[in-house]
């Protein structure tokens, strides 16, 4: 499973990239807004300069012509840009047109298997089911991942399932078990994937034993 980071913060992206396990980035105007008074296109370009992988950048238009205009502007920024398009009627039309032009797309805000099937038929490169938001309304977000993975496998559809709106490490684990191709993960959750109390306890024990061993050697001299 590929790991993307969901952010527009350059420090977080650099730190995640330095781990050597980062495959890409997803971002949008809301995430860029959190970073202060910066230009969206410039930030996308900066991200592409850091990460050697797909960078999903979202359009803000909701009409076909507007989506296409923004998509072409984003696609010209860098060869790794993937245009993020909302799963609405005009968005599906734009995904088909962009796919025909060879421009990769990430169809976002997916909340049902049938939406995902339409996006795949339109030629989306990625589909982004928002599992955390489904959990928020007392439904099963991971079941959506499982159903999309199964439907795509049934028909050999090439669209990659990108688990989005991930809230905690269990989401990452369950998405991997369900067969998601990608998980886009907040920086804090990426950090938590490294953590385990038994790792910390075991390392401390090894260090304590090593220090005791060194003390014994020093006393023997």
Catalytic residues: 84
* Residue whose C-alpha is closest to residue 16's, from 219, 188, 214, 202: 188
What residues contact 185, with CB distance under 8 A and at least 6 apart?
Answer: 3, 4, 5, 6, 166, 172, 193
Backbone angles phi, psi at 6, to 5 degrees: -105, 95
Unique residue bearing structure tokens 């989401």: 171
Unique residue bearing structure tokens 């398009």: 85
Q: How far is 183 from 204, CA to CA, in rounded Å?
A: 32
* Residue whose C-alpha is closest to residue 56's, from 92, 109, 11, 122: 109
Answer for the pair 5, 22: CB distance below 8 angstroms, yes or no. yes
Task: Name all contacts of 171-176 with Cβ < 8 Å and 24+ positions apart.
Answer: 171/131, 171/132, 171/141, 171/142, 174/142, 174/145, 175/1, 175/131, 175/142, 175/145, 176/1
* Residue whose C-alpha is closest to residue 61's, from 26, 86, 27: 86
């Amino acid at each position: 499973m590929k790991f993307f980071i969901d952010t527009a913060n350059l420090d977080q992206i650099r730190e995640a990239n330095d781990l050597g396990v980062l495959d890409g980035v997803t971002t949008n105007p809301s995430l860029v807004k959190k970073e202060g008074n910066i230009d969206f296109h410039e930030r996308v370009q900066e991200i592409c300069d850091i990460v050697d992988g797909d960078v999903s950048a979202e359009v803000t238009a909701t009409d076909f012509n507007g989506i296409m205009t923004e998509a072409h502007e984003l696609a010209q920024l860098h060869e790794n840009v993937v245009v993020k398009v909302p799963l609405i009627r005009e968005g599906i039309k734009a995904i088909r047109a962009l796919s025909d032009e060879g421009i990769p797309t990430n169809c976002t805000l997916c909340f049902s298997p049938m939406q995902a099937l339409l996006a795949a038929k339109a030629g989306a490169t990625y589909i982004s089911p928002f599992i955390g938001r489904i959990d928020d309304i007392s439904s099963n977000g991971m079941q959506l991942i499982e159903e999309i993975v199964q439907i795509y496998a049934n028909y050999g559809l090439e669209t990659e399932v990108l688990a989005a709106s991930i809230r905690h490490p269990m989401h990452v684990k369950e998405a991997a078990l369900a067969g998601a191709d990608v998980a886009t993960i907040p920086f804090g959750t990426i950090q938590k994937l490294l953590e385990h109390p038994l790792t910390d306890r075991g390392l401390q024990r090894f260090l304590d034993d090593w220090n005791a061993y060194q003390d014994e050697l020093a006393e023997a001299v």
